[in-house]
């Protein structure tokens, strides 16, 4: 539908259009017309097509053809972020900040993916049922952008750890900085970030590889070595058998239990195999929280938040103890 350009609203904080890109569209539209309508929501807020809209303004159009989307709120903002994140010419800081905002929106829309979710694209299985959880933000974004998940994790780390002061120095001076250098900069302390960003902006150094921070006076003691991740629990010998069949892994034994043509009622051996598989999956997922991607935020956790985590962990051990007590009470009845 045709919508008056004066009625189209642009969200505050949206990345400004690239003048060169707008001029290219002006030349194209003046020759062949607008081939792809812009996209707005029902309140006439722009979702996609800022460069096309700005080109239409330069051409003195009063109306522009629009697709009116039913997307609203966070879904509309997610579509807007996705359009911007694939654009060429984004600076390293703009790119990482957009991905961080995408993470916030995605996890607000899919809260079940927070704190890990399906972070390794694994299917969570049991002997009774099977379901696929929603993809984690990292996996979903990496798939859409065609990059490795580790690339997305590094960009999120950059956006979270870069101080606003360092971002402003880079952004205000138009300093060109690579994603690799932005990540290195984000790993410095706040004062060193300011110092390094200022040197980059002034052209005193061309990359973070040339940056050598001045030693603090008096020199502070080196930070403690990071704690090693918890050792994997010792696995006892398996006190159950699933008949004459031999399985290379717990996953294969659980798959056999899911055979729709066999009796799936529990016996002691199949119950133990199911519990064994659950514990194995739990340890694989729990190991994530010792990854540097998580431990980097440990210093920022408040005592209140730590107490909350302690209480949540206590519910796990309590539930397991309750199940063991129930099992013991009913043994040899």
Residue 187 burial class via C-beta count within 10 angstroms: exposed 0-12, middle 13-18, buried 19 and up: middle
- List C-alpha distances in Å: 227 to 177, 269, 292: 32, 38, 11
> Residue 290 is encoded by which pair of tokens?
């010792």
Query: What pLDDT does 26 receive?
Result: 92
pTM of model > 0.85: no
Q: For residue 56, what pLDDT band results from cuts at 50, 70 and 90? A: very high
Name the residue with higher pLDDT: 271 or 143: 143
> What is the per-residue pLDDT across 33-43, written as a single tens digit (0 to 9) for each?
888 888 888 88
Task: Quote the pLDDT of residue 119.
Answer: 40
Q: Give pLDDT tens digits for 232-247.
A: 566 566 676 655 555 4
48-62, 99-113, 268-282: the lowest-pLDDT one: 268-282
Q: What is the pLDDT of residues 97-109, one digit of tens each?
A: 888 888 888 888 7
The answer to whether residue 146 scores a pLDDT higher than 50 is: yes
pLDDT at 163 over 80: yes
pLDDT, tens only, 211-232? 887 665 555 666 666 666 666 5
CA 134 to the chain's CA centroid? 13
Query: Using CA atoms, how far apart are residues 195 and 209, in angstroms rounded to an integer?
Result: 14
Q: What is the largest distance, in Å, between two alpha-carbon atoms of the chain?
A: 87
Higher-pLDDT residue of 248 and 169 is 169
Is 106 in contact with 98 (CB distance < 8 Å)? no
**pLDDT at 243 (0 to 100):** 58
Q: Tally the residues of the chain.
A: 333
pLDDT at residue 136 in the model? 85
For residue 202, the model assigns a pLDDT of 86
Reported as a pLDDT band with limits 50, 70 and 90, residue 125 is very low
């Amino acid at each position: 539908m045709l919508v008056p350009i004066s009625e189209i609203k642009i969200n505050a904080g949206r990345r400004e259009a690239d003048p060169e890109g707008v001029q290219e569209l002006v030349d194209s539209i003046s020759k062949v017309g607008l081939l792809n309508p812009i996209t707005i929501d029902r309140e006439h807020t722009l979702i996609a097509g800022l460069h096309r809209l700005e080109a239409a303004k330069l051409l003195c159009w009063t109306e522009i053809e629009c697709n009116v989307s039913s997307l609203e709120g966070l879904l509309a903002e997610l579509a807007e972020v996705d359009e911007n994140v694939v654009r060429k010419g984004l600076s390293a800081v703009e790119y990482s900040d957009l991905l961080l905002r995408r993470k916030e929106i995605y996890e607000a829309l899919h809260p079940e993916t927070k704190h890990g979710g399906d972070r390794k694209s694994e299917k969570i299985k049991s002997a009774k049922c099977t379901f696929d959880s929603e993809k984690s933000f990292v996996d979903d974004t990496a798939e859409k952008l065609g990059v490795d998940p580790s690339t997305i994790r590094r960009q999120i780390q950059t956006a979270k750890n870069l101080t606003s002061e360092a971002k402003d120095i880079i952004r205000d001076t138009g300093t060109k900085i690579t994603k690799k250098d932005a990540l290195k900069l984000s790993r410095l302390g706040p004062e060193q970030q300011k110092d390094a960003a200022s040197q980059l902006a002034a052209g005193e150094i061309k990359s973070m590889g040339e940056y050598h921070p001045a030693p603090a006076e008096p020199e502070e003691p080196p930070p403690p070595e990071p704690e090693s991740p918890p050792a994997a629990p010792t696995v006892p010998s398996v006190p159950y058998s699933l008949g004459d069949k031999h399985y290379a892994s717990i996953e294969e034994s659980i798959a056999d239990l899911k055979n729709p043509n066999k009796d799936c009622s529990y016996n002691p051996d199949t119950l133990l195999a199911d519990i064994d598989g659950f514990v194995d999956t739990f340890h694989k997922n729990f190991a994530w929280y010792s990854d540097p991607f998580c431990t980097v935020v440990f210093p920022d956790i408040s005592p209140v938040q730590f107490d909350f985590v302690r209480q949540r962990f206590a519910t796990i051990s309590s539930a397991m103890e309750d199940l063991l007590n129930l099992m013991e009470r009913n043994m040899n009845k």
